[in-house]
Amino acid sequence: MKILVIGSGAREHVIASTLLASEHVNEVAVVPGNPGMERDGLRIVNLNSKNQASIIEFVQSNHYDWVFIGPEVPLMEGIVDALAEAGIPAFGPTKQAAQIEGSKDFAKQLMARHHIPTAAYKTFADLDSAVAYVHEQGAPIVIKADGLAAGKGVTVAMDEPTAIAALEDIFLDHKFGAAGAKVVIEEFLEGQEFSLMSFVNGTRFWPMPISQDHKRAYDGDQGPNTGGMGAYSPVPQIPQSVIDQAIATIVEPTVQAMADDGIPFTGILYAGLIATADGPKVIEFNARFGDPETEVVLPLLQSDFAMAINDLLVGKEPDFTWDTHAATLGVVLASDGYPDHVIKGAAVPNITLDADSHVYYAGVASASEDDDECDTEVNETGLIGSSGRVMFVQTKAPTLAEAQRKVYELIPDEVPGMFYRHDIGAKALNN
């Protein structure tokens, strides 16, 4: 098989690498990809992922069997619909079904109609009404831009001034553009968060091992929200009974609700959940693999990933077999200033890996020899940081403690121009 993956980050790197590991796959191309992916034998194709016509032409002229869509934006723009119209199989939800991520208000209304447990909420389209509601409810309270905001549109406000400042950022300063045309304001929920992703095909689904992301930029969950600074799997402080309850009360009814509402979901349904005293509740849904959760979950897959997706696309029963006797943990190296004022151009370090460890590249670019940033490390990897999250260092070990120890031994103590959290996995190990 020849497979095309759409996307350019560490999530797409692990998706494409896992697909390429199949004995049934002889080529995986990534649009637009990044130069770090080439180190794992992936073909990088310099096409704009927004140009649906060029992608369709490329797939057809190069005889790719099917397409896997990694990020949310192409899904919201209807890439699956366009591919289907051209007769090209694609794994991902339609534009209409992807609204479960594209609009938090849409997701909240779906959950309300079908009695799926989530935080109480109200949606507002103007600042004055939203501020009045904050004063009425008090703090702590959660402010969410309705649309896509690259994982940064959520403010957990522990006091009213912080909540109002977040609303002003959205409505007055238009910090998130069109994504902030509406705001969802939710009650604050307490408990451990975890991510439960599932492969979905219509009304059937296959859950993956759970994982836990670390959203805040700095150690001890300090600093601004980010797209994610690290993750691990499994999550031992979340008992199996809670996972089973989440599957029964959240995942299954959501998959069924989408079908009942005439917008059946195919692809990856990501449920961002919180284990409250009243049981698991939904924080958010995504219509694709999480990032960085994918980088610690897919390495636990023992069965053939490419064949399983191929079987789903043709209506066969897929095989998903997971390693239940190992743990994975990974750490994001981010450019200084991330997420608010990213300073690009740092040299990407060359990390020595063993068979159970990987580097998945995200915001990297090739460095030419006349770049001012070029130094010895750049010459080793040929890469510099070109965005906020630069790379993800992941390892697998028999226990979570061993995985944590090993991954931090792999990463240099100091990486000029970059920073990382030193406490990924601490919530589990210190629990």
What is the per-residue pLDDT for 149?
74
Q: 3-state SS string over 102-125?
A: HCHHHHHHHHHHCCCCECCEEEEC
What is the per-residue pLDDT for 174?
87
Give the integer Cα–Cα distance in Å for 323 and 187: 37
Q: Shortest CA distance to 229 belongs to which of 164, 291, 280?
A: 291
Contact criterion met (CB below 8 Å) for 407 and 331: yes
Tell me the residue type at 33. G
pLDDT per residue over 240-282, tens digit each? 999 999 999 999 999 999 999 999 999 999 999 999 999 999 9
Per-residue pLDDT in tens (0 to 9) along the chain, 431 residues: 999 999 999 999 999 999 999 999 999 999 999 999 999 999 999 999 999 999 999 999 999 999 999 999 999 999 999 999 999 999 999 999 999 999 999 999 999 999 999 999 999 999 999 999 999 999 999 999 988 876 668 888 999 999 999 999 999 888 888 888 899 999 999 999 999 999 999 999 999 999 999 999 999 999 988 999 999 999 999 999 999 999 999 999 999 999 999 999 999 999 999 999 999 999 999 999 999 999 999 999 999 999 999 999 999 999 999 999 999 999 999 999 999 899 999 999 999 999 999 999 999 999 874 355 444 455 578 999 999 999 999 999 999 999 999 999 999 999 999 999 999 999 999 87
Q: What is the CATH number of domain 327-429?
A: 3.90.600.10
- Token digits of residue 397: 């070990």
What are the C-alpha distances in Å from 309 to residues 2, 5, 124, 271?
13, 13, 39, 20
What is the per-residue pLDDT for 394?
98
Give the integer Cα–Cα distance in Å for 75 and 98: 6
Give the integer Cα–Cα distance in Å for 308 and 381: 34
What is the per-residue pLDDT for 28?
98
Q: Give the start-end residues of each E strand in 49-106.
A: 66-69, 90-91
Q: What is the CATH number of domain 120-187?
A: 3.30.1490.20
- Token digits of residue 307: 């064949």
- Note the pTM of the prediction, 2 decimals: 0.94
SS3 404: helix
Q: Where are the domains of the chain?
A: 2-91, 120-187, 192-314, 327-429
Contact criterion met (CB below 8 Å) for 276 and 186: no
CATH class of 192-314: alpha beta
What is the per-residue pLDDT for 302?
98
Contact criterion met (CB below 8 Å) for 329 and 296: yes
What is the per-residue pLDDT for 371?
53
Q: Give one word for 229, left, alpha or beta, with left for phi > 0 and alpha for psi -120 to 50.
A: alpha
Contact criterion met (CB below 8 Å) for 82 and 52: yes
Give the integer Cα–Cα distance in Å for 103 and 100: 6
Token look-up 């975890």 returns 194
Tell me the residue type at 298. L
Q: What is the CATH number of domain 2-91?
A: 3.40.50.20
**How many residues does this entry show for the chain?**
431
- Token digits of residue 325: 């006797």
Q: Give one word for 349, left, alpha or beta, with left for phi > 0 and alpha for psi -120 to 50.
A: beta
- Token digits of residue 62: 């190069």
Give the integer Cα–Cα distance in Å for 138 and 161: 10
